[in-house]
Copies of this chain bind each other. A is one copy, B any other.
Amino acid sequence: MNFSKKVSSMQFSPIRRFNPIAIAAEESGKKVYHLNIGQPDVETPPCFMEAIRDFDAKVIAYAESGGLTILQDAVIDYFKNYNVDLERKNIIVTTGGSEALNMTFLTLLDEGDEILLPEPFYTNYHTFATAAGGVVVPITTKGEEGYHYAKKEQIEACITPRTKAICCITPGNPTGCVLTLDEMKLIAEVAIEHDLFIVADEVYREFVYDGGEAHSFFEVEGIEDRLVVIDSVSKRYSACGARIGFCISKCEKFMEGIMKIAQGRLCTSTVDQVGAAALFRLPTSYYDEVKAEYCARRDVVYEELQKIPGFDSPKPRGAFYLTCKLPVDDVEELLMFLLQEFEDNGETVMYAPAAGFYGTPGLGKDEIRIAYVLKQEDMRRAVELLRLGIEAYNNR
C-alpha cells in the first residue's frame, strides 16, 4: 500500500531529527547543550499554572471553536499596546502557531498555489504548505546582506499567476532579521499591487534589540482585507508546551473560511486557554525583562562565535536565533562528529543544520541555526564547545 505523495515529500524536522543521536550521546553519559530547538530555559510566568490551578470546573468541556472569550478579551487588550483595535470575531484561538499556519494555508491555497517565503525559513512552513497542497517559493536572502528581503524587485521576480500570499516571520526565525514599519509598508504595497494575502508571523514580536521597535502588520493601513497575523504564547511567555496560538484577521471572508476548519477540529485545550489568558494580562514590564535577557544572551553568543576563525555573520536584531556559516564543508557531518566522537570534559553541543531551512537545493550546507535559549553561562560554554569541536574536527 502506498501512502500519500504529500507526506512522502515532507522531510523529518531538521530541528528534531538528530534528537535520537543526541539521546544516545546523553545515555552514554555526555552532557549535550541543545542549541537546536527554540525551547527557552526562561521560566514560564507562574500566573499560567496559578490560573490553571484555580480553574475549578467540574466538567472539562469543549470551548467555543473560536476560543474562550476570557482569552480573546485578554488578546484584544494586549493589542491596545500597539494601538490596534480588535474584536472577538477577529480572533481564532489555535493549538499553537503551528495550527494557525496549518489552517491559514488550508484556507488560502488550492493544489499548486504558491506562497512566497524568505529563505532560510522556519522549516515547518514547508510541512504546513505541503499539507494544504501548496508550494513554497523561496525568496533567497544572504547573511552578508543581513538577510533583508524587503526589496520590491526581488519579491516581484518571484511572483507568478499562482502566487497567493507572501509570508513574513518578523522578528525572523531562523535569521533574527526584523522588518521596520517602513519595510512592512513596502511589503504591503507589493501585496496590494499583486493581490496577495499577507501571512505575518509575529510570534517574536517583542524581541527586537539595539533600539529597534516592536511592530505589528496591523499598524499598516489599507491591508485589513488581505492580512492574517499568526501569534502564539510559546516564545513570548516561554510557554512552548502550552500549545496556544492565534489566527487574527479583520478579513471577514477569510475568517468565515477558516472558521469551518476550526469548527471541524472542535476547539483548543480549555485548560491551556485559561492559563494563556493570564499570560496576556502580564504588565508590559515583563516584555522588557525578557527582552533584556535574550539580548544579553545574543551578545554572549556573538562574542564567542567571533572567536571561531572564519566566522563572519551579521548580528541578529531580533527573535532568539542566529544563522551563520561555519568553516566546514558539511555541518551535518560535523554535528555527527560532535555528538558521537567529540567531547570536552564530558560535554558537547548540538545545533540545527541550516540546509533544511532552505527551499533552494544545495544552499545552507555550511550553515547552522543556533537558538540562544539557554542562560548566558551555558550559551558561552556551548559556543566554546562548538569552537573546540570544529578545531578537533578539522584536525582529525
A interface list, Cβ under 8 A from B: 1, 3-8, 10-13, 16-17, 37, 39-44, 48-49, 52-53, 55-56, 58-63, 65, 95-96, 98-99, 102, 106-111, 113, 124, 127-128, 131-133, 164, 195, 197, 225-226, 238-243, 253-254, 257-261, 263-272, 275
Residues in B with CB closer than 8 Å to A98 are 264-266
Enumerate chain B residues within 8 angstroms of A52, measured Cβ to Cβ.
52-53, 271
A60 partner residues in chain B, CB cutoff 8 A: 44, 48-49, 238-242
Q: Is the CB of B16 within 8 A of A261?
A: no
**In the complex the two chains form, what is the Cα distance from A58 to B375 in whole Å?**
14
CA distance A240 to B266 in the complex (A): 9
Q: Are A59 and B37 in contact (CB under 8 A)?
A: no
Q: Which residues of B have CB within 8 Å of A96?
A: 265-266
By a CB distance below 8 angstroms, the chain B residues around A1 are 164, 195, 197, 225-226
Which 3 A-B pairs rank lowest in CB-CB distance, beginning with the nearest?
Answer: A241-B270, A127-B264, A13-B263
Taking A65-B16, A243-B95 as contacts, is the C-beta distance between A260 and B11 under 8 angstroms? yes
* Given contacts A13-B263, A264-B128, A257 and B7 within 8 Å (CB-CB): yes
A132 contact set on B, CB distance < 8 A: 4, 131
Whether A108 and B265, one on each chain, are in contact in the complex, defined by CB atoms closer than 8 angstroms, is no
Complex Cα distance, B269 from A63, in Å, reads 15
- Contact with A5, one of B110, B243, B268 (Cβ below 8 angstroms): B110
Once the chains bind, are B7 and A261 in contact (CB under 8 Å)?
yes
A59's partner among B42, B55, B102, B243 (CB-CB below 8 A) is: B42
Across the interface, name the chain B residue whose C-beta is closest to A254: B3
Cβ of B58 and Cβ of A44 under 8 Å apart?
Answer: yes
List residues of chain B with CB within 8 A of the CB of A44: 58-60
A4, A6, A272: which has the most chain B beta carbons within 10 Å?
A4
Contact, CB under 8 Å: A8 / B257: yes
Would you call A124 and B265 a contact (CB within 8 A)? yes
Q: Which residue of B lies closest to A53 (CB)?
A: B53
| A59 CB contacts on chain B under 8 angstroms | 40-44, 238
